[in-house]
Structure 1
């Protein structure tokens, strides 16, 4: 039997992952609109340039596709917030950039955030989601912690809570604001930004 060169296998695997990413990006809009329970692979194919057979070839089932979609989106989202941490030169600037970006995200990416919370809720009932959801959630928690610890460093202070408790506070604010936005409350993004501006400084103790 003739063996396949390592370079060829690597190239093939790269193309396979690239196509999976293309499919996931195409599927995000449909999933964000319909949610987990009401979306099938056939629905995703009908709302994209890909056939049902192609979608099924790259993803064994809906669980595999949705987790890939959410992982892809959250990675992109986290990269944008990490940029804020890197470019902010002082604590007030970091606070303002973080608050504004969270508010804007509610306004411009609500369907995708809704998909994340849908998936996280489903993981309470479906084992197939749980490991992936926990991993993604830990990644978002890590991002939140990087923001808060950087703010503390720029302020010359120390954090008052641990990583998990800190994340729970911001996640709760964000989910509540998202719900209000989806319910038609036009001020939800602005109110979220205001609450973040109030909360973050209170999570850091600064020596007088």
Structure 2
């Protein structure tokens, strides 16, 4: 899926008028991550909401070593962006970085979902590009069972009975500065 295709996914149909976006991004493509944030109608808070330092699954005391341009990568970052007003933070003691075993391709550790719940409490949540279903989260992804929605460039289709997730936003909503989006 191209960055343009991701930008056209109607996350604005799923997002509450006041919500937090926690989005994993590829370190070699920070500008592309910012384009997605803007296209979805959010504004950036920080590029480092969470930092996952990867260790081995069989040797948890040993950090993994991945690919890299200048240095070998052993972490992934999750940015935070906001739409409307920032939701109330429930727990001010959540630490940014954590160490957890590297998982199969693109799968993220459960501790991230747990940290988000601790941070924001009992709010509606959806995980896009999910690899598995998660308790307390609606999910969408081609590798998870029973997704709650089908996302297509420009529109979302409610297939899982989500009743309050859609705001009937127009196909070309305005961006977070009130300007009409380009089609």
TM-score normalized by structure 2? 0.27
Bigger strand share: 2
Higher fraction of helix: 1
**TM-score, normalised to structure 1's length?**
0.24
Larger radius of gyration: 1
